[in-house]
């Protein structure tokens, strides 16, 4: 009988692994509409479309999908087609539960196997698990037969595996020993004493295996949930692309932001139009930030030329380094503050034009700022090298950078570039969209109130997080 129990335990491991495999493939079928298993595909084809009908039914998730239209949300169809209904709330696909269940059983049978007489109480763990599993199997068999009225070959196979596992657990459970007759005093005591039995599994082995089994199940579930989230992201990607590609929506997002009056120093570095230009852009930037460099290229090559001198761009320092910005601990490059001081020192001696020339030198060597000789660069730009070095270390330069950092903190700046247009923060997704800037130049050029009455857009409505005012996101 021992060899039979060992065979049954090995069979239980194989059946559990096969059940986990089928559950994974059915989860892929549920999420993506197809599985990677030719076996499951052939089984479902033989069932005559029953698998697809079961997967699309309200009983394919826990809890079941609601019937009432009040619990569903309309999602616009592709190319302006009819809106589809998406169920609101968290609904866990049933195959995820199957994956957790079979992963747990496979780990348990592999780690513990068949208990002996003294460890028979631990057989309650797989027994209760497969008892609950078979209860679910009976319920889902009823749903397939009486409610959905379709049969899924993969589901039937899993329910069959469930039944076999229950039988194996019952057969491998040790029976109680029969009481043996008490030996008489005259019995021969010459035979060696019996070796005392050690319980299998021990409490330590059972608990460790139980923890590992639960871990395997959770890991499998986490992978499945990650796949579900990836699918949701893929489904929403066209909607997101439509939102960020529609300048009307971006303009509406911008117009919902709070207006915040931002002070500008008369000698602040600027590009573009004059101080009385109808459009004023304020950019909080880091000298070593690659995204800031890309945005400045967009400014100089596209946005400013297309604005027709109606846009004035003002630069504000926000180095992402705790050397001069204690609101950014452990972030950014250690060279950010030194580069900011170099640009400010160039401005003090050479004015606005020399600020941007020094910034251009910093951007050109942003990959290796450690080797940049700022004094030599200042001399090449026609500046007094000794004065430049003194200005870099002066309180005046440090105070200017500190003032910008404090202002950025008050405006909730956390990342660079953070852009404000006419005292309203520009949504991050709109910063690199030329169509948005072209629209803003037209809307705001005649006055600050012209941004409010925006034409309605046919694109999907915005999320609450993206339309929240006053935050740099």
Which pLDDT tens digit goes with each residue over 157-167?
999 999 999 99
pLDDT of residue 470: 37
Q: Is the dihedral of CA 36, 38, 39, 40 positive or negative?
A: positive
CA distance 421 to 255: 10
**Rounded distance, CA 411 to CA 260, Å?**
8
Beta-bridged to residue 317, according to DSSP, are 285
More confident residue, 442 or 178: 442
146: Cα separation from own chain's centroid: 40
Q: Using CA of residue 440, residue 446, residue 449, residue 454, what is the dihedral sign? A: negative
Q: pTM for the full model?
A: 0.56
CA atoms within 13 A on the CB side of 305: 7
DSSP single-letter state for residue 424: E
383-430 pLDDT per residue, tens = 999 999 999 999 999 999 999 999 999 999 999 999 999 999 999 999
Q: What is the pLDDT of residues 297-319, one digit of tens each?
A: 999 999 999 888 889 999 999 99
Other Cβ atoms closer than 10 A to 242: 16
Q: Which helix (H) or strand (E) holds 179?
A: none
- What is d(CA 168, CA 186) in angstroms, rounded to the nearest whole number? 44
The pLDDT, as a whole number, for residue 62 is 80
Yes or no: say if 267 and 349 are a contact pair by the CB < 8 Å rule.
no
Provide the pLDDT for residue 181. 52
CA 147 to chain centre: 37
* 413 in Cβ contact with 470 (< 8 Å): no
E-assigned strand segments in 149-277: 270-272
Asked if residue 311 lies in contact with residue 272, where contact means CB atoms within 8 angstroms, the answer is: yes
Q: What is the mean pLDDT of residues 3-28?
A: 87
**339/331 Cα distance (integer angstroms):** 15
Would you give the distance in Å from CA 347 to the centre of its chain?
Answer: 43
CB 361 within 8 A of CB 375: no
Asked whether the predicted pLDDT for residue 150 surpasses 80, the reply is: yes
Angle in degrees, CA 390, 395, 400, rounded to 5: 110
φ/ψ (deg, to 5) at 425:
-75, 140
Helix, strand, or coil here: 461?
Answer: coil
Residue 313: its pLDDT value, please?
95
First to last CA, the chain: 68
Which of 70-84, 96-110, 344-358: highest mean pLDDT? 344-358
* All residues at 6 or more sequence positions from 173 whose CB lies less than 8 Å from its CB, including other chains: 115, 120, 123, 127
Instruction: Name the residue with higher pLDDT: 246 or 314.
Output: 314
- Count of positions (residues) in the chain: 473
Range 6-14 average pLDDT: 90
Phi, psi angles (nearest 5°) of residue 119? -110, 20
Q: Which two tokens stand for residue 449?
A: 């109130």
Going along the chain from its start, the domains and CATH numbers come out as 2-175+202-242 (1.20.1440.130), 257-467 (3.40.30.10)
Burial class (CB in 10 A: 0-12, 13-18, 19+), 173: middle
């Amino acid at each position: 009988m021992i060899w039979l129990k060992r065979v049954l335990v090995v069979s239980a491991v194989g059946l559990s692994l096969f059940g986990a495999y089928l559950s994974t493939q059915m989860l892929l079928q549920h999420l993506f509409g197809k599985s990677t298993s030719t076996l499951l595909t052939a089984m479902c084809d033989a069932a005559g479309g029953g698998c697809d009908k079961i997967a699309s039914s309200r009983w394919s998730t826990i809890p079941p999908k609601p019937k009432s239209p009040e619990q569903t949300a309309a999602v616009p169809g592709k190319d302006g087609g009819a809106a589809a209904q998406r169920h609101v709330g968290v609904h866990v696909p049933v195959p995820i539960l199957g994956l957790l269940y079979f992963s747990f059983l496979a780990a348990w049978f592999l780690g513990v196997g068949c208990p002996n007489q003294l460890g028979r109480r631990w057989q309650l763990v797989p027994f209760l698990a497969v008892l609950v599993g078979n209860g679910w199997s009976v319920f889902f068999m009823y749903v397939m037969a009486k409610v959905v009225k379709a049969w899924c070959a993969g589901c039937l196979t899993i329910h069959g595996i469930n039944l076999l596992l229950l039988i194996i657990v019952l057969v491998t459970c040790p029976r109680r020993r029969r009481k043996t007759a008490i030996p008489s005093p005259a019995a021969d005591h010459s035979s060696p004493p019996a070796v005392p039995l050690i319980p299998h599994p021990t409490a330590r082995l059972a608990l460790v295996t139980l923890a590992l089994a639960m871990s395997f199940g959770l890991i499998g579930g986490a992978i499945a949930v990650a796949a579900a989230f990836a699918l949701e992201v893929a489904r929403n990607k066209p909607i997101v692309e439509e939102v960020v590609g529609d300048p009307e929506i971006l303009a509406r997002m911008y117009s919902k932001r709070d207006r915040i009056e931002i002070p500008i120093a008369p000698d602040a570095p600027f590009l573009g139009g004059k101080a009385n230009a109808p459009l004023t852009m304020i950019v909080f930037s880091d000298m070593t930030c690659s995204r800031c460099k890309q945005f400045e290229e967009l400014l100089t090559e596209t946005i400013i030329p297309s604005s027709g001198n109606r846009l004035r761009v003002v630069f504000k320092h926000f180095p992402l380094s705790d050397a001069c910005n204690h609101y950014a601990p452990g972030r950014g490059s250690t060279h950010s503050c030194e580069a900011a001081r170099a640009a400010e020192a160039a401005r003090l001696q050479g004015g606005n034009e020399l600020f941007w020339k020094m910034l251009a030198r910093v951007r050109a060597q942003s990959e290796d700022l450690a080797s940049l000789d700022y004094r030599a660069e200042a001399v090449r730009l026609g500046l007094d090298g000794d004065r430049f070095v003194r200005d870099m270390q002066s309180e005046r330069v440090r105070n200017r950078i500190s003032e910008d950092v404090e202002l950025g903190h008050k405006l909730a700046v956390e990342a660079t570039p953070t852009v404000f247009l006419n005292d309203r923060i520009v949504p991050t997704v709109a910063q690199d969209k030329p169509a948005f800037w072209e629209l803003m130049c037209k809307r705001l050029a005649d006055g600050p109130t012209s941004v409010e009455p925006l034409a309605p857009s046919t694109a999907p409505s915005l999320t609450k997080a993206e339309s929240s005012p006053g935050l740099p996101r």
